[in-house]
Each structure stands twice: as C-alpha cells, then as structure tokens.
Amino acid sequence: MDLTPPRWQRRKDARPAEIIEAALALFVEKGFAAARLDDVAKRAGVTKGTLYLYFENKEELFKAVVRETVLPNLEFAELLVADHRGSCADLLWALLEGWAQRLQQSPSTSISKLMIAEASNFPELGRFYLEEVVLRSRRLFAEVIQRGIDAGEFRAVDVAMATRSVTAPLMMIKVWKQSFECCDSSEVDLPEFARFHYEMLIRGLRAD
C-alpha cells in the first residue's frame, strides 16, 4: 500500500514554492498567454482555489516567479560587485562567466525570451521585467565599466553603449538556441562563448 500523503497534504508553507516551480515550467513551455492557471495548479498538486490563496492572478504569479527565481541571482551579482576590490577586468569576467553558466543551466533564464516575445502584448509585465531585471542588470555592468574607467584600467568609452555591447551577444545566443534548436544542429557552448566574447571586449576596453 502506498502511504505517501498526497501533495496537497504537505505543509502549507511549501505550497507557494511548489506553485512557483510549476508556473516557471509552464511559462517556459507555453509562454505567458497560453499558460493556464488550471494547468499550473494541476502540476503543483494543488487546487485552483489554493493557488488563488497565494496569488491574485496570473500576472502576480508571473511576478512572483521572477522575484523568486531570477532576482536572487541578480542580488548575488550586485553583492559581488559591491564587495570586489581587485581588477575590474577580473570582475567583468566573473559576472560574464556566472551569467553564462546560469544561461546554460537554469530554466529561469528562459523568461527573457518569453518577455521578448510577449512584452508588447502585456506592457505592464514588460515594464515590470524591464525595471526589476533588465535595468538592474545594465546598471550592474555599467558600474563595473565606469569603475574601470575611473581607475584608469579601461579607456574612456560611452558607458551605455559599452554596457549593451557586453550584454547583448550572450542574450542573443540564448534566444537563438531556444528558438532554433529544433532546426539548427550547431551547438554553442555559452560559457565558452562568454570567454571568447570577454577576450574581444577586454581588448577594446583596456586603457593600454
């Protein structure tokens, strides 16, 4: 006899995490518009009524997914930048390397592709993601570049343009892999690409 209690009998404090995990999987698989709260509840092993106890609607659930799965990595990177006392070139590589590894391994990074595809249809969510994730990420890289300029390690460049140059290629590779994996057989290792990208960048940034 199976004596394992059904999932809905688990501790109540575990339910929001299970709902968020299920929502992340469905948002990645189906996109925001096509993901149904009924399916999220079913995958999480709860009733739809239970889901509404924690999340008012699908938009609030999506925001919770971003805050619980994306923002912790961003907060860690912000602490890394704040505590770093060495070379800005080393710090730039640490950020790129960590980001590339997450892009390669973490399902939560697929939310970027989802937002690129659906932000125009859901402008409130687009603004939320822009403010909570995109702009914070840009500020992070911009701070490192500006710090390198101020220290004389990097040459004077347009920081905003340099920041976009740092971040755009990795994101494009990730989106390409997700979009064309079904028909493009060529493999791109994101950490390996990040190293190549960094070496190209640092040649353009170094003051010498």
In this structure, the answer to whether residues 171 and 75 fall within a common structural domain is yes
Amino acid 104: pLDDT: 85
Q: Is the pLDDT of residue 4 over 90?
A: no
CA distance 112 to 100: 14
In this structure, the answer to whether residues 101 and 120 fall within a common structural domain is yes
Amino acid 147: pLDDT: 97
In this structure, the answer to whether residues 19 and 70 fall within a common structural domain is no
Out of 68-82, 96-110, 114-128, least confident range: 96-110
Amino acid 89: pLDDT: 97
pLDDT per residue as tens digits for the range 106-123: 888 889 889 988 999 999
Q: Is the pLDDT of residue 105 over 90?
A: no
DSSP string, 138-175: HHHHHHHHHHHHHTTSB----HHHHHHHHHHHHHHHHH
Compute the average pLDDT of residues 10-34. Answer: 86
103-138 CB burial, b ≥16 within 10 A, e <16: bbeeebbbbbbbbeebbeebeebbebbeebbeeebb
In this structure, the answer to whether residues 171 and 188 fall within a common structural domain is yes
In this structure, the answer to whether residues 100 and 21 fall within a common structural domain is no
Number of domains in the chain: 2
Q: Is the pLDDT of residue 155 over 80?
A: yes
In this structure, the answer to whether residues 106 and 189 fall within a common structural domain is yes
In this structure, the answer to whether residues 130 and 186 fall within a common structural domain is yes
Task: Report the percent of the chain where pLDDT is more than 70.
Answer: 93
Tokens linked to 158: 């347009």
In this structure, the answer to whether residues 185 and 88 fall within a common structural domain is yes
Q: Is the pLDDT of residue 12 over 90?
A: no
In this structure, the answer to whether residues 200 and 110 fall within a common structural domain is yes
In this structure, the answer to whether residues 47 and 77 fall within a common structural domain is no
Range of the domain at 108: 59-204
Place of tokens 């603004």: 127
Out of 1-10, 63-72, 134-143, least confident range: 1-10
Compute the average pLDDT of residues 3-12. Answer: 46
Query: What is the overall mean pLDDT for the chain?
Result: 89
pLDDT per residue as tens digits for the range 180-203: 877 777 778 889 999 999 999 999
Amino acid 206: pLDDT: 95
Amino acid 7: pLDDT: 46
Compute the average pLDDT of residues 160-187. Answer: 85
- Confidence class for position 13, pLDDT limits 50, 70, 90: low
Compute the average pLDDT of residues 69-95. Answer: 95
